[in-house]
């Protein structure tokens, strides 16, 4: 395949370097210094977005969220038949694809991989090894474009999780936005205890605050782009914590929360064995089958040339 | 020194094994299988609490919290002049020492070290390496007993943090009780997202939920023994999270929380260099000097035979 990667930061750079092992990749970044770093690392660097995407089979948009609408507009003038992205919130990008007139060839994407580092210098093809990578399935998604994107993603060693942008953003609020806000609130509560609390803080505080070490503008963007789903999730967590506080004040117990939390953590860290299944790309029920697979916690692990999808889902 | 260690679980076993390198240690545990394990590991095992403590210079109580009052009552009949403990909440133990009539020789203690494992089989002298170890200074604490306990603790390679039981429990609520409750609430929020959220959860969820993997009864006890301090701290955190939720719902920003959390995490992970100072055990202002040292985030690192205390505190 010919692939364009627009935006060569941590994720875009890692994707471009990983894909360049097996595909013809052209990259571009708005930052001249980044383009130089990428060229020095052996990547083919295009003149502009259009130059990268014209003639490509797939274009991957990996810019900061604020730049995505303009990049999609630029891509709308190219002949590239499949456009995807790597942003951590999918609703706004889906809307931007509609505005840019590229909804018919757009497949929202999100690789669940990252570090606290940023920029092409931190890019590492191994960052993606074995990661879950969401590719969004909407009612109007062109399934041949989706399968083409899935072929590219599984080729990087990632597992494609199919779900709607709405389901992704709801899950993302729970497993990324919420942990970032809790980490920040915990860090603040520790700091409010002054030097003594700081001196005594050990493992539980260290792990609970780790992601508060990410850049504040990235944390804020992650939360604010997904504001409505995150606000709903936060309501539930605030109610649960307020209930625990009330119980403590009344001489009651927090055993129910501790037990539920322990069970949930165990279930996550010891997942059920996966069971293999196949889906045929041309089948009439593919859209529903893919959404069912994702909701069940399953994923696509390989795409055959004839479009057959090799999948796995948790056994019961 | 002759040292008694009553309770040979994870912490008591680690303490006994570490002290046995340089002191004459007699251990005891209510559980016969634990006593056998300890004896097989080369520890001297006493017949009962009194047998362990009679003639000892210091007795360390390392039983589960519920057993502490009875052990302190048993110790009250012995001639051991310095009694200390390793419990994670200090107010209730201080009260129990008063009820048992041993307040004059009791120094509350808490080594800030642990793992999710339990029992003598998990005991490891290295668990204590370089850890902060609180020794409580109250208005009526016998300072010669305190210095004796500090001599023992610094001899294990730990740094003694002096503070009141009240200050300890307030800090403990912030840096241990709160992270455990937040981890449980986050794990539950993730589980409420079903298999899709579980499939997508990665680093921020993993770290944010780690301590929810501890045994629920331990988490509940940690929180409930420290209920009033923890309820107060939780109020502040709940208010902060509710405010963030309101901002997200109103199209506002969570940048202030992200910035404050980031700064707090950085300040914790990059502490100020420590400055050395000395305190004389016989000085009239020792009680106030110790409390000042602890509040400032400082600690005692060595005790000379004449009682001189080698201390360090964060530079300004």
Nearest-CA distance B81 → chain A (Å): 28
Indicate whether B181 pLDDT > 70.
yes
For B229-255, write each residue's pLDDT tens digit.
Answer: 999 999 999 999 999 999 999 999 999
Question: H/E element holding A243?
Answer: helix A227-249
Would you call A268 and B191 a contact, using CB atoms and an 8 Å cutoff? yes
Would you call A241 and B238 a contact, using CB atoms and an 8 Å cutoff? yes
Interface test mutation site (partner B, options A175, A211, A239, A266, max chain B beta carbons within 10 A): A175
Structure tokens at A17: 């370097």
Interface test mutation site (partner B, options A176, A179, A274, max chain B beta carbons within 10 A): A179
pLDDT at site B117? 72
Q: What is the DSSP letter of B101?
A: T
Q: How far apart are CA B297 and CA B161, in angstroms?
A: 8
Least confident of A59-63, A172-176, B113-117, B213-217: B113-117
Query: Is A178's Cβ below 8 Å from some Cβ in B?
Result: yes
Would you call A199 and B298 a contact, using CB atoms and an 8 Å cutoff? yes
Q: How far apart are CA B5 and CA B13, in angstroms?
A: 8
Indicate whether B115 pLDDT > 80.
no
Cα→Cα distances B106→B13, B29, B60, Å: 21, 20, 10
Q: Which residues contact A89 (CB under 8 A, 6 or more apart)?
A: A65, A169, A172, A222, A225, A226
Would you call B205 and A175 a contact, using CB atoms and an 8 Å cutoff? yes
pLDDT at site B15? 95
Nearest-CA distance A107 → chain B (Å): 18
Least confident of A68-72, A225-229, B25-29, B270-274: B270-274
Indicate whether B116 pLDDT > 70.
no
Measured between CB atoms, which of B134, B191, B205 is closest to A267?
Answer: B191
Query: Is A213's Cβ below 8 Å from some Cβ in B?
Result: yes
Length of chain A: 316
> CB neighbours (10 Å) of residue B29?
25
Indicate whether A6 pLDDT > 90.
yes
Question: H/E element holding A309?
Answer: strand A309-314
SS3 A277: strand
Burial of A98 (0-12, 13-18, 19+ CB in 10 A): middle
Measured between CB atoms, which of A113, A174, A213 is closest to B189?
Answer: A174
pLDDT at site B281? 82
Sign of CA dihedral B222, B227, B233, B235: positive
pLDDT at site A272? 87
Indicate whether A291 pLDDT > 80.
yes
Q: Is the pTM of this model over 0.80?
A: yes
Nearest-CA distance B161 → chain A (Å): 8
pLDDT at site B304? 95
Given strand B132-136, what is the order of strands in its sheet? Answer: B109-111, B132-136, B159-163, B299-303, B309-314, B274-279
Query: Is there a contact between A10 and A34 (Cβ–Cβ < 8 Å)?
Result: no
Measured between CB atoms, which of A220, A233, A246 is closest to B254?
Answer: A220
Q: What is the DSSP letter of B211?
A: G
Would you call B213 and A269 a contact, using CB atoms and an 8 Å cutoff? yes
SS3 B62: coil
Residues of A in contact with B190 (CB under 8 A): 174-175, 264, 268
Would you call A192 and B236 a contact, using CB atoms and an 8 Å cutoff? yes
Would you call B201 and A114 a contact, using CB atoms and an 8 Å cutoff? no
A residues 219-238 closer than 8 Å to B (CB): 219-220, 223-224, 227-228, 230-231, 233-238
Cross-strand pairs, B303: B309
SS3 A28: strand
CA atoms within 13 A on the CB side of B203: 13
Of the candidates A158, A122, A108, A163, the one whose C-alpha atom is nearest the C-alpha of residue A9 is A122
pLDDT at site A281? 81
Interface test mutation site (partner A, options B182, B226, B292, B299, max chain A beta carbons within 10 A): B182
Nearest-CA distance A104 → chain B (Å): 25
pLDDT at site A113? 82
Sign of CA dihedral B179, B183, B184, B189: positive
SS3 A59: strand
pLDDT at site B118? 80
Mean pLDDT, rounded, of chain B: 95
Query: Is there a contact between A7 and A67 (Cβ–Cβ < 8 Å)?
Result: yes
A118 pLDDT tier (thresholds 50, 70, 90): confident
Residues of A in contact with B240 (CB under 8 A): 185, 188
For A152-191, write each residue's pLDDT tens digit.
Answer: 999 988 999 999 999 999 999 999 999 999 999 999 999 9
Cα nearest neighbour of A265 on chain B: B187
Nearest-CA distance B120 → chain A (Å): 21
Indicate whether A248 pLDDT > 90.
yes
Q: Which residues contact B289 (CB under 8 A, 6 or more apart)?
A: B279, B283
Examine the predicted complex and report whether its ipTM is higher than 0.85: yes
Would you call B262 and A212 a contact, using CB atoms and an 8 Å cutoff? yes
pLDDT at site A78? 97
Q: Which residues contact B31 (CB under 8 A, 6 or more apart)?
A: none
Residues of B in contact with A234 (CB under 8 A): 241-242, 244-245, 248
Indicate whether A82 pLDDT > 90.
yes
Beta strands in B13-61 (DSSP E): 24-28, 44-45, 58-61
Indicate whether A80 pLDDT > 90.
yes
For B259-313, write each residue's pLDDT tens digit.
Answer: 999 999 999 999 889 999 999 987 889 999 999 999 999 999 999 999 899 999 9
Would you call B238 and A235 a contact, using CB atoms and an 8 Å cutoff? no
Length of chain B: 316
What percent of chain A shows pLDDT beyond 90?
91
> CB neighbours (10 Å) of residue B66?
9
Indicate whether A115 pLDDT > 70.
no
For A124-161, write each residue's pLDDT tens digit.
Answer: 989 888 999 999 999 999 999 999 999 999 998 899 99
Mean pLDDT, rounded, of chain A: 95
B113 phi and psi angles, rounded to 5 deg: -145, 145
Would you call A234 and B217 a contact, using CB atoms and an 8 Å cutoff? no
Measured between CB atoms, which of A193, A213, A261 is closest to B265?
Answer: A213
Q: What is the mean pLDDT of residues A178-207?
A: 96
Query: Is there a contact between B94 and B135 (Cβ–Cβ < 8 Å)?
Result: no
Q: How many CB pairs under 8 A join A and B?
A: 370
B residues 105-134 closer than 8 Å to A (CB): 112-114, 131-132, 134
Cα nearest neighbour of A261 on chain B: B184
Nearest-CA distance A67 → chain B (Å): 20
Higher pLDDT, B129 or A49: A49
Measured between CB atoms, which of A196, A204, A259 is closest to B171?
Answer: A196
Nearest-CA distance B180 → chain A (Å): 7
Would you call B258 and A224 a contact, using CB atoms and an 8 Å cutoff? no
């Amino acid at each position: 395949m010919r692939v364009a990667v627009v935006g060569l930061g941590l994720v875009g750079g890692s994707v471009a370097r990983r894909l360049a092992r097996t595909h013809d990749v052209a990259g571009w970044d708005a930052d001249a210094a980044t383009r130089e770093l990428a060229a020095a690392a052996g990547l083919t660097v295009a003149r502009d977005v259009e130059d990268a995407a014209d003639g490509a089979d797939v274009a991957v948009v990996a810019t900061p969220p604020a730049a995505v609408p303009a990049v999609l507009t630029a891509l709308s003038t190219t002949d590239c038949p499949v456009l995807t992205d790597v942003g951590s919130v999918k609703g706004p990008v889906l809307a931007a694809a509609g505005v840019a007139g590229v909804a018919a060839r757009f497949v929202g994407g999100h690789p669940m991989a990252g570090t606290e580092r940023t920029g092409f210098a931190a890019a590492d093809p191994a960052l993606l090894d074995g990661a879950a990578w969401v590719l969004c399935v909407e009612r109007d998604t062109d399934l041949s474009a989706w399968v083409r994107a899935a072929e590219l993603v599984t080729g990087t060693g990632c597992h494609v999780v199919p779900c709607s942008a709405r389901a992704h953003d709801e899950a993302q609020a729970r497993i990324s936005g919420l942990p970032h806000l809790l980490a920040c609130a915990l860090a603040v509560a520790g700091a409010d205890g002054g030097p003594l609390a700081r001196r005594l803080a050990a493992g539980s505080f260290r792990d609970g605050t780790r992601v508060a070490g990410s850049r504040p503008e990235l944390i804020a963007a992650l939360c604010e782009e997904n504001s409505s789903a995150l606000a709903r999730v936060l309501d539930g967590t605030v109610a649960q914590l307020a209930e625990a506080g009330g119980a403590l004040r009344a001489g009651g117990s927090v055993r129910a929360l501790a037990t539920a939390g322990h069970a949930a953590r165990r279930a996550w860290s010891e997942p059920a064995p996966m069971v293999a299944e196949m889906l045929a790309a041309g089948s009439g029920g593919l859209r529903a089958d893919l959404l069912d697979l994702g909701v069940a916690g399953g994923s696509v692990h390989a795409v055959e040339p004839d479009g057959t999808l090799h999948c796995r889902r948790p056994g019961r």
